[in-house]
Chains A and B, each alone.
Chain A
């Protein structure tokens, strides 16, 4: 500690540093040298601790464990090579386990050190009101009012109004910049590729998700069958699949009820959107005994025989039905787009069902 520091400490350093004993209880503040004492000084309010031999051994043991676990981490890193899933799993377990043990033992050791070896005492921390004194506040208030009066803001109406006019566009600037966040969605949410012909000008076939094969209606002939279906040419286009994935269900024709548009079915095969009309989860839990389609997210339940009418849960609309037909080779194709936008509601959707019905269509 230099001479200069010692002199300046009188006015520069605060009377008491947070975390140190208050002068009332301790005679020593930070920056002052303690008198050399062979024994632990006896200070009022401070519990003198024993030399902490037992605790010292515990802390040392913890640090030793950390050391060993750290070494083990390096050893295991070399020992367990990865390459297959099973090997990576073993490597993860060994590396994660040793690292966790090392950090846990280190933290335990430090905590025991603080709790059992360092001295313990009550600390009173003084708090003062944050508010300034009366004179200062009056001074600030009168200065402000004087400045306002001198600027003439209350009187000079022209200046006041042109100033407000000047800053108004600056406040609107961020709103204009929002447009650069991306292109507007336009009508992409209303339409799917099912409504478009393929590049060859043919009607778009239904493709089994996973196998990539088109579906011959005569082969999909077991009542109670269900398939997850994607549009031909868009089997891996996730943006498109998010709205155009279908579930295809085979019924005995007599099972279908009035809610289903039978003109859009082929021999008891019905296609519904797989995207739940609630918040867009894939709803494909199909029970062939009850003909319920259940959404796994919020348990919306649809009656598959009756136009996917909602019979339970938070969904507000049935799953849209896709018009199905056959092409010349007997494969299932889409005869057009969904009559209403599939999936959950969005701002510009409006009452699409009512619009379709007003035009005499089947929603």
Chain B
């Protein structure tokens, strides 16, 4: 403590404090910034049986009807769900976007609502806690109302059968304007945003393309074929798993964070070095 007191009036002390503060914030951010986890894509397919539809209607009435209307016809609070299809239901519920917590410009990805989680005694460690049966029942109910895109099978979304290089080309032509070249997302108008694809599973990506959730346009199977969609999924999953040997990806959102780091940290260090090289030593008798 005494040595700090003695040195705090040192001419370089303020620069040392500035440097330490930069280091603390930079390092702290890199340490605390969320690291992309991966949701599991293996959600079992529900049979489109009559009891499923009846069961799904019950869950819908209890959970969704307050905004979407008792017959999914839509209200001032939420859009009509007639014709959106089972894929849309599966996407919205399994990414936690629905049921919504509060009305907003856009529903963010969040933890799955408790009503769609498995009871505690049926959960297995290491397995996703989503109750796939309940989700499939609601999906079957919505599908029964007016058709629409169905939930893709595991084979439909298998990234192993996709060509990541070809997918990258398609991704750059159709997706990067909103989602960024490695899927880091970006801003849209009126508080909406294109989400980060870092947590998206193969199935979610496929469902998003065929249903066009929220502001996203639709890329149906007749213009962007299922094989081309698998190519894009292979690309997105490949960039998700891309290592960053330098340690800091800086959010991979391009020149904004990279420029900020270069200007604040890089040039800050250069300024400190220049000060150190030319600083006068304080003289006792001056």
Asked if B220 lies at the interface with its beta carbon under 8 angstroms from chain A, I say yes
Are the CB atoms of A210 and B212 closer together than 8 Å? no
A89-B245, A222-B212, A224-B218 are contacts. A285–B223 as well, Cβ < 8 Å? no
Given A111-B276, A211-B224, A215-B223, do A290 and B217 touch, yes or no (CB 8 Å)?
Answer: no
Say yes or no: B172 contacts A225, CB within 8 Å: no
Q: Is A86 an interface residue (CB 8 A)?
A: yes
Bound-complex Cα distance A157 to B174 (A): 73
Within 8 Å CB of B243, what residues of A?
Answer: 86, 89
Question: Are B189 and A210 closer than 8 Å at their CB atoms?
Answer: no
- Closest CB-CB distance, B84 to chain A, in whole Å? 11
Residues A90 and B245 in contact in the complex (CB < 8 Å), given A284-B177, A296-B186 = yes
Contacts of B215 in A (CB 8 A): 287-290
* Nearest chain A residue, comparing its CB with the CB of B167: A210
A93 within 8 A of B: yes
What residues on B are CB-neighbors of A249 within 8 Å? 217
Most B CB contacts (10 A, CB to CB) among A89, A111, A211 go to A211
A219 within 8 A of B: yes
**What is the CA–CA distance of A287 and B187 in the complex, to the nearest angstrom?**
11
Is B62 an interface residue when CB atoms closer than 8 A count as contact?
A: no
Contact assessment for B218 and A222 in the assembled complex, using a CB-CB cutoff below 8 Å: yes
- Pick the residue among A92, A111, A223, A287 that contacts B189 (CB under 8 A): A287
- In the bound assembly, the distance between CA atoms of A211 and B169 in angstroms comes to 9
Q: How far is the CA of A120 from the CA of B280 in the complex (A)?
A: 10
What string of 1s and 0s marks CB contacts (under 8 Å) between B238-281 and chain A? 00000101100000000000000000000000000000110001
Tell me if A208 is interfacial: C-beta within 8 Å of chain B: yes
Is B216 on the interface with A (CB-CB < 8 A)?
yes
Contacts A90-B245, A287-B215, A288-B217 given; indicate if A210 touches B188 (C-beta within 8 A). Answer: no
In the complex, chain A residues whose CB is within 8 Å of the CB of B216: 288
Q: How far is the CB of A7 from chain B (nearest CB, A)?
A: 40
Query: Is the CB of B127 closer than 8 A to any CB of chain A?
Result: no
Task: State whether the Cβ of A221 lies closer than 8 Å to any Cβ in chain B.
Answer: yes
Q: Which residues of A contact B225 (CB under 8 A)?
A: 211
Asked if A93 and B246 sit within 8 Å, CB to CB, the answer is: yes
B220 close to A292 (CB less than 8 A): no
Q: Which residues of B contact A290 (CB under 8 A)?
A: 189-190, 215
Question: In the bound complex, do residue B245 and residue A93 qualify as a contact, i.e. CB atoms below 8 Å apart?
Answer: yes
B178 part of interface (Cβ distance < 8 Å): yes
A-B contact count (CB 8 A): 93
Query: Interface size for chain A: under 10, 10 to 19, 20 to 34, or 35 or more residues?
Result: 35 or more
In the complex, are the beta carbons of B188 and A225 less than 8 A apart?
Answer: no
Q: Is A22 located at the chain interface by the 8 A CB criterion?
A: no
Q: Does B55 belong to the interface (CB within 8 Å)?
A: no
Measured CA separation A287–B212 after assembly (Å): 10
Contact A111 B277 (CB under 8 A): yes
Within the assembled complex, what's the spacing in Å between the Cα atoms of A231 and B224? 18
User: Would you give the shortest CB distance from A230 to chain B, in whole angstroms?
Assistant: 9
Q: Mark A306-330, 1 if CB is under 8 A from B, else 0.
A: 0000001000000000000000000
Q: Which A residues touch B276, using CB under 8 A?
A: 111
Min CB distance B239 to A, Å, is 11
Chain B residues with Cβ below 8 Å from A208 are: 173, 223-224
Q: Identify A220's interface contact among B177, B186, B192, B222, CB under 8 A.
A: B222
- Given A86-B243, A287-B189, A294-B188, check contact A209 B174 (CB 8 Å): yes
Q: With an 8 A cutoff between CB atoms, is B170 at the interface?
A: yes
Q: B219 near A: Cβ within 8 Å? A: yes
Chain B nearest CB from A251 CB (Å) reads 11
**Selected A-B contacts with CB under 8 Å, 9 pairs:** A93-B246, A209-B173, A211-B228, A225-B220, A227-B223, A289-B214, A290-B190, A296-B177, A312-B189
> Which residues does B use to contact A, with CB under 8 Å?
169-170, 172-174, 177-178, 186, 188-190, 192, 194, 212, 214-220, 222-225, 228, 243, 245-246, 276-277, 281, 283
6 nearest CB pairs, A to B: A219-B222, A210-B173, A287-B215, A209-B173, A226-B217, A210-B170
